[in-house]
Structure 1
Amino acid sequence: MPIDATLPYDDSNIFARILRGEIPSKKVYEDEFALAFHDISPAAPIHILVIPKGPYVSWDDFSARGADAEIAGFVRAIGKVARDNGLVAPGYRLLANTGGHGGQEVPHLHVHLFGGRALGPMLAR
């Protein structure tokens, strides 16, 4: 069910629980700013989620409250994950759903990184 991205951060969300080690994940990258892991229901041959380690609901929340180092570190982590998984040359897609109209289901900022095949049009027409 889509969430309201203006609500306060809920530290019981699934990504917060993954960050705390309460729920296992198939980790592909981790540093002080970000964690990246395989999606449990992949929508492409490569489907990795990249999340900041801080308690941010959405891009709006992150850009307003995140420290410059956190923001830069998160963006760099996304690029590293794409490079490390061989996605740069063939191409890949980044997707961040925000709020109800955007289809956000988990109230923790996350970026979907899709690749491994041609992905087609971004939205159905």
Structure 2
Amino acid sequence: MSCLFCQIIDGSIPSTAVYQDEQCYAFADINPQAPVHILIVPRVHIASLAQTGPEDTAMLGHLMAVSAEIARSKGLGAGYRVVANTGSDGGQTVGHLHLHLLGGRGLGWPPG
């Protein structure tokens, strides 16, 4: 059985799409931690940022560029945060690389 995000990408599990192209799919988080909380995931299954290598540089850059494009489209000119939780100690709960785009309110530091 494929992972949760692979199932969302292939449409087996419904989601609210925000952006999609040949490399990635972005959708609204079902448990938002900010007024805008979008997940940006590569279409290829990679377990986490820790499993990426030099061959993934272009894809990783694309995910960041898409994050900025979505932030602009959501009117987050006052600021936003892009996060990649990695591994259990880093707070990763789904074993598929993904970025969180959070915005729409002031975000404190350090995060919880």
TM-score when normalising by structure 2:
0.89
Mapped pair 1:101 → 2:89: yes
Shift of 1:60: 2.5
Structure 1 residues 21-75: Cα deviation after superposition (integer angstroms, max 9, x where no partner) = 1001000100111111100011111111111111111112233452x44233222
2:52 to 55, 62, 70: 62
CA contact (8 A) 1:63 1:71 kept: no
1:38 to 25, 28, 36: 28
Q: Could you say which residue in structure 1 is the equivalent of 2:13?
A: 23
Q: Could you say which residue in structure 2 is the equivalent of 1:73?
A: 62
* Counterpart-to-counterpart distance in 2, 1:100 and 1:118: 26
Q: Which amino acid aligns with 1:112?
A: H
Q: Could you say which residue in structure 1 is the equivalent of 2:99?
A: 111
Identity of aligned pairs, percent?
A: 44
Structure 1 stretches lacking a partner, 5+ long: 1-10
- Count of residue correspondences: 112
Structure 2 stretches lacking a partner, 5+ long: none
Please, which moves more after superposition, 71-80 or 45-54? 71-80
1:91 to 74, 79, 101: 79
The structure having more radius of gyration, on CA atoms, is 1
Mapped pair 1:51 → 2:44: no
Mapped pair 1:122 → 2:110: yes
TM-score when normalising by structure 1:
0.81
Superposed CA RMSD: 1.6
After TM superposition, the runs of 4+ consecutive aligned structure 1 residues lying more than 3 A away are: none
Residue 72 to residue 96, structure 1, CA distance change in 2 (3 Å): closer
